[in-house]
Structure 1
């Protein structure tokens, strides 16, 4: 009698029982995934249900497109980048309405590349945001809906972190915040 398969199954059950729920791969469409960053500081960021985002609806591979926690990572970047630009007392409230990340899954390349996001200049990053930017007295300095896009994302200056899978989206966000609010405060 071979006990090896049974021992492996028991060992896997013990190991997976000790893994915290947060260690599993999260999907941006999980019902328990956050839809806003915790309230802190002068920048708030909220977002719609990511299952309605263009990135998932038109990705070429909905399963791979929803993996991870990239919406929250982009929101966190938006907050940090916005905070650097605000003068004391100013406030920025952002609602992310839609996201289309750079690249696309091209399933016609076969099963070896099914889960690979192909980056080409014909798939630029895009984002739609609604925002309200106010001064220390609560007066509105700027507000509205903006459709962000970076059609030259592959030919511009290289992003600071070439290992960041969201580098093109973050660069697009930084460019928008600079146009809307100004350069980071020193």
Structure 2
């Protein structure tokens, strides 16, 4: 009986250790997306487009989780988003607005973040970070097909590599 109790205790401890290793390392909070500068759909409802954008950006942020050291966590609060391009009712195809991509409509995002190490200590934190890519049409990867939000993804990747990666990279 005693052996069974120790065996069950060992399984319980192992399961808890495994579960804690699988915790998400990036948590994104979307603060009032209905008020963002540009999260307008070219077609469909605004609510469903917001959900699609948030889901896509959650995946973009989640990609950065793989680059964090084990145990590190990143907490982000997105305060504003302005997608590349502009939806203008003047440009329509078959009664649907289209998103026009021009250099003057560059992607932008405002957010707060905290980077925490494995002990929970804050390694880096900043509020009202304003990220933009005014040269997005010249600096983003070409030939990736119709990858949605590629300009915004490249903008965030550049920010991550320039500002966060040095905080945990080994010298």
Query: Same-fold call, TM > 0.5?
Result: yes
Q: Which runs of 5+ in 2 are unaligned?
A: 1-21
**Equivalent of residue 159 in structure 2, options 176, 179, 183:** 176
- Cα deviation, 1:45-78, whole Å, max 9, x if unaligned, reads 110121111114xx59796665431122112211
Residue 165 of structure 1 aligns to a residue whose secondary structure is coil
**Equivalent of residue 161 in structure 1, options 137, 144, 149:** 144
Distance 2:113 2:120 in 1: 14
Higher strand share: 2
Equivalent pair of 1:105/1:115 in contact (CA under 8 Å): yes
1:104 and 2:74 correspond = no
Q: In structure 2, do the counterparts of structure 1 residues 159 and 147 end up closer, same or farther at CA, with 3 Å as the change threshold?
A: farther
Q: In structure 2, do the counterparts of structure 1 residues 66 and 166 end up closer, same or farther at CA, with 3 Å as the change threshold?
A: farther
Q: Which runs of 5+ in 1 are unaligned?
A: 1-38
For 2:77, the equivalent position in structure 1 comes to: 95
Q: In structure 2, do the counterparts of structure 1 residues 182 and 40 end up closer, same or farther at CA, with 3 Å as the change threshold?
A: same
Equivalent pair of 2:83/2:108 in contact (CA under 8 Å): yes
Cα displacement (A) at 1:127:
0.5
For 2:103, the equivalent position in structure 1 comes to: 121
Count of aligned pairs between the two proteins: 144
Residue 152 of structure 2 aligns to a residue whose secondary structure is helix
For 2:60, the equivalent position in structure 1 comes to: 77
**Structural RMSD (CA):** 2.7
List structure 1 runs of 4+ shifted beyond 4 angstroms: 59-67, 110-114
User: Normalising by structure 1, what TM-score?
Assistant: 0.67
Alignment of 1:18-97 (within 5 A): 40-56=23-39, 67-68=48-49, 69-81=52-64, 83-97=65-79
Distance 1:143 1:159 in 2: 32
Cα displacement (A) at 1:171:
0.8
Residue 139 of structure 2 aligns to a residue whose secondary structure is coil
Distance 1:111 1:163 in 2: 18
- Cα deviation, 1:67-96, whole Å, max 9, x if unaligned, reads 431122112211222x12211111111111
For 1:36, the equivalent position in structure 2 comes to: none
